Amino acid sequence: MAAPIDLHEVAEREREEQFRTPLRVHVCHSTSCATAGSGAVLQAARDLAEGDLASSVAVSPTGCMGLCSAGPLLRVVERGGGQHDYHHVTGAAAERIVRHHADRGAAVPEHRLDTALPFFARQHRVVLANAGEIDPDRIESYVAHGGYAALERALTSMTPEDVLDQVRRSRLRGRGGAGYPTANKWALLAAAPGPVKYVVANGDEGDPGAYMDRTIMEDDPHRVLEGIALAAYATGARHAYIYVRAEYPRAVERLDRAIKVARRNRLLGRRILDTDVDLDIEIRIGAGAFVCGEETALLASIEGRRGTPRLRPPYPTERGLFGAPTMINNVETLANIAPIVANGGDWFASIGTPGSTGTKVFALAGDLVNTGLIEVPMGTTLRDIVEDIGGGMTEGHTFKAAQTGGPSGGCIPARYLDTPVDYDSLRALGSIMGSGGLIVMDDRTRMPDVARFFMEFSKDESCGACAPCRAGTVQMHHLLTTISSGRGRRRDLRDLEHLCAVVRDTSLCGLGQTAPNPVLSTLQYFRDEYEALIAPAEGGHG
Amino acid sequence: MSDTALEAGASASGSRHTVDPGRPEHPSGDDRFALVDTHLRRVHDAQDQLIETLHVAQDVFGFLSDDVLLYVARALRLPPSMVYGVATFYHLFTFEPPGEHTCTVCTGTACFVKGADDIVADVATAHGVHVGDTSADGRLTLRTARCLGSCGLAPVVVLDGVVHGHQSPSGALALLDGELGGVR
Amino acid sequence: MAERVPTVPITIDGVEMEATAGETVLQCARRHGVDIPSLCFLEGLSPVGGCRLCVVEVAEDLRLRPACATTVTSDMEVTTQSSRLRSYRRSILELLFAEGNHVCAVCVSNGACELQDVAVRCGMDHVRYELQAPRRRVDASHPRYVFDPNRCILCTRCVRVCDEIEGAHVWDVAHRGHGAELVTDLHRPWGESTSCTWCGKCVASCPTGALSHQGSSVGEMRHTPDMIAWLVAARRREWTEREARR
């Protein structure tokens, strides 16, 4: 058995390496920027660093810097700490920018991104602290930023109960959407009789319009592994699974590599860091089914079966994967664990609001000036997110609604823009926090169409195991299509509302129970749009 | 430059499907079954590996034929109906050979808001192909995806695995003409 | 006498009764003659809670619970009939009728159909929703049995009885959502199935006219779902071992 990694030494060496050159160039190489052409940018920068600027420039690919709509993004970091960001960078521009910095020690005005912009200044990065800073493929990079220090501390100087206690004090709630207190889940698994129990990381991000979890898995894979290891230590599990959507091959590749490296460095596997603690993590890949985000469906899928949810109780913490007690945590939830253990639960609880502590990552998209991945303290108002961080609506248009929670959530109108974004406030408005998709729509959007879009999604993603969801979503979609096309009658609207109640109250799992939400919330706030579509002969307003 | 002592050896992920010389030939003489066998051996024919095995089989054969499904069912000692039920449950498994080119339009929420539906409609009309199907000449398979997670670049079109952001109906058609040679 | 089974007091629709510890609300209600409609549940098979017709209100519980899979607890207060539950049940039945082709007048099971019977008991007299009029191919390839997928309500009794009792697992559900359908083997004609044992338990369990005997004409088919519970008891050797204990 190889000797375990010496975290201090690796961190020391990596920091020295970082100060070797006066300039360091970070190229955002996340999926979004890669699509926009960051490969050429990275190559151009590397050519310089391996050519005549070898002594003055070091280049590193990094994870998501956030402002995806302006990618590819490039960051020049000076030895003295100065930092300059650039947007819409091409290979040629990268060469010009890096050369200019190296030769003149000054920034280039073209492509310059002002980091004092509210988009950057209003954010608070805990989960994404390393994104844009570290090279996701290098464990040294993670370790130099404090990685695995929390795990080392937990294994050497904390009992499992101590770790659980910090999570309890943090009042962290599940980031998958429902907001169940994380410590309660952990305590249930910890109390479950051993010896076989499982921790499962849910990376089946299915909300169409959300990519927070993908970014975390791709850009900081070791953080996810460290979170899982801490969860396993606190609950006494020795086996863990990460369930990743098949649509995220890059996340699978990065996690796979990270697991192998962590195992070789004795951060996973037998006798982690020479303690008595063992943990193995296995990746399981989905095959395209939104419903697999539901806990019991996800477990069925890991077992190689159809991803149909089953009746609860028994809950997974009583009888889960392969019949053993199992705890399922969302990837973003787990990404919060290492910082909580490192800085203490009280530190975490001081961020956000008393009921919703910490930060939340959102995939901000839609008709805004700035779109991308943002992380804000819980309780930040929607207005701050839309107007400051998002930079307001695109030219000539006004805000109409913000959609949170995807197919399980709702649309929030302008009059509630000052609502703080937290679990309970969003629920009170008929929406949900969801996993973090936040789509902002302008005055061109027709809300019955939005409701129809989400119902089509739920109809296609229903597993079919229970009658109201399987057949009810088909009928609701049919009614919404009829109404959207202007052929609807008053009776159709009445039938639609009734079906919403039936499907919400009688469906077997969360997918069906929440599928009516987009309809209910648009009916609540934009009813006049539905009324206007009712055929005039039937007594509508039109 | 990223391979240091700590990382060495971790990048051997390119050898996912290799032929195992010790395994007997498949009766059909199709040696691609040997690639599936290698995977099965690696996972000790574990029944919970059904979905992974189907992924491997689809990678190898391009789609899942009845022959392949039956082969997997026998290898994992699972009833054929269960294998069929699992395979058809998930979106990513296909049972027909795909066309020469595959165009996937993202229809996630961000892309929907930015007009993905129009792209789908125009591509379908221009190439005479329904979503999920392959054109009669076998040149183009049209698919939709529920969010590829590139929402900042919405709307997004993927052509033969390459992601193209900020698309429009006319842009997508031009892209296809470029790839398919503009001949229909 | 057998050893006494512990009981717990529960209230169903305002009537106090004794439930056997460990039994479900549905079992307790049926023993006491309280009618809770259900289609997917079949005594002897594992409950799946799929048809959702048996949902009941349980005091101090915000969510409706499926009676077939809710175990009784001491002092539980259950409501099986309320205007909300009645309206939901009618809607679910309408959804089922709209989903398939359930034209009783031409069905082999007319007059002896659980779906028809439950619809009558629940007062479902018309369908508000768009009829989906599926045109799925009827499989009459089996020498003894016929499967009409257009009359199937996906209760999965046949899947479970074939898997749990017969042990053959000929049937499974393929695809999903509104496209979900029952298949034999690799969705090949039933008559070509290599796994089917011709035992007929799937046909016996079917609550509608989806599975029937070859040659049945309108209104002739008689299913025998109750045999499943007897079979399960027999296979547990409940009777023979009781003899031995005497």
3-state SS of A181-237? EHHHHHHHHHHCCCCCCEEEEEECCCCCCCCHHHHHHHHCHHHHHHHHHHHHHHHCC
Residue A249, Cβ density class (10 Å: 0-12 exposed, 13-18 middle, ≥19 buried): exposed
Enumerate the domain spans of chain C. 7-81, 94-235
Tell me the pLDDT tens digit for each residue of A427-449: 999 999 988 999 999 999 999 99
Chains near C with 3+ CB pairs less than 8 A apart are A, B
Q: Position of tokens 């207060």?
A: C77
Tell me the pLDDT tens digit for each residue of A92-122: 999 999 999 999 988 999 999 988 889 999 9
| pLDDT for A399 | 97
In degrees, to the nearest 5, what angle opens at C-alpha A370 toward C-alphas A424 and A396? 100
Residue in B66, B70, B84 nearest the CB of C183: B84
Chain B residues within 8 A of A265 when measuring between CB atoms? 6
Across chain A, mean pLDDT equals 95
Cα C152 from chain centre? 12
pLDDT band of C45, cuts 50, 70, 90: very high
The nearest alpha carbon in chain B to C195 belongs to B79
Cis peptide before A313 (omega within 30 of 0): yes
| pLDDT for C245 | 61
Instruction: With H, G, I as helix, E, B as strand and everything else as coil, classify residue A485.
Output: coil
The two structure tokens encoding residue A177: 């959407």
More confident residue, B107 or A255: A255
Interatomic CA distance for residues C243 and C237, integer angstroms: 10
Q: Is it the case that residue A542 has pLDDT exceeding 80?
A: no
In degrees, to the nearest 5, what angle opens at C-alpha B159 toward C-alphas B94 and B84? 5
Share of chain A above pLDDT 90, in %: 90
> Residues 20..39 of A with a Cβ closer than 8 Å to B: which?
31-32, 35-36
Which residue of C147, C164, C181, C185 to mutate against B (max B Cβ within 10 Å)? C185
The nearest alpha carbon in chain A to B14 belongs to A253
The nearest alpha carbon in chain B to A322 belongs to B48
Chain A residues within 8 A of C178 when measuring between CB atoms? 459, 462, 464, 470-471, 473-474
Domain B101-180 has CATH 3.40.30.10: yes
Q: Is it the case that residue A330 has pLDDT exceeding 90?
A: yes
As a CATH number, domain C7-81 is 3.10.20.740
Share of chain A above pLDDT 70, in %: 99
Tell me the pLDDT tens digit for each residue of A1-22: 789 999 999 999 999 988 899 9
| pLDDT for B7 | 43
CA distances to C230, C233, C239, C242 from C246, in Å: 21, 18, 11, 6
| pLDDT for B183 | 46
Listed in sequence order, the residues at least 6 apart from A252 whose beta carbon sits closer than 8 Å to its beta carbon are A244, A283, A285
Chain A residues within 8 A of B1 when measuring between CB atoms? 46, 59
Q: Is it the case that residue B22 has pLDDT exceeding 60?
A: no
Chain B residues within 8 A of C170 when measuring between CB atoms? 79, 81
Chain B residues within 8 A of A253 when measuring between CB atoms? 13
| pLDDT for B10 | 39
Share of chain B above pLDDT 70, in %: 84
Amino acid present at C205: S
Tell me the pLDDT tens digit for each residue of C61-78: 889 999 999 999 999 999
- Determine contact, residues A36/A72, Cβ cutoff 8 Å: yes
- Structural domains in chain A, sorted by start: 19-115 (3.40.30.10), 146-348 (3.40.50.11540), 358-442 (3.10.20.600), 447-538 (1.20.1440.230)
Q: Position of tokens 């804000």?
A: A376
Q: Is it the case that residue A230 has pLDDT exceeding 50?
A: yes
| pLDDT for B23 | 54
Tell me the pLDDT tens digit for each residue of B107-159: 988 888 889 999 999 999 999 999 989 999 999 999 998 888 788 888 999 99
Q: Is it the case that residue C1 has pLDDT exceeding 50?
A: no
Domain C94-235 has CATH 3.40.50.2300: no
The kind and range of the H/E element at B52 are helix B50-61
Q: How far apart are the first and last CA of chain A?
A: 77
More confident residue, A328 or A205: A328
Tell me the pLDDT tens digit for each residue of A484-537: 999 999 999 999 999 999 999 999 999 999 999 999 999 999 999 999 999 776
Mean pLDDT of A311-332: 96
Mind telling me how many Å the CA of A478 is from chain B's nearest CA? 18
pTM: predicted TM-score of the whole model, two decimal places: 0.93
Mean pLDDT of A180-198: 95
Enumerate the domain spans of chain B. 17-89, 101-180
Tell me the pLDDT tens digit for each residue of C157-172: 999 999 999 999 999 9
- Return the closest-CA partner of residue C203 out of C224, C182, C189, C217: C224
Instruction: With H, G, I as helix, E, B as strand and everything else as coil, classify residue A335.
Output: helix
Q: Is it the case that residue A191 has pLDDT exceeding 50?
A: yes
| pLDDT for B18 | 54
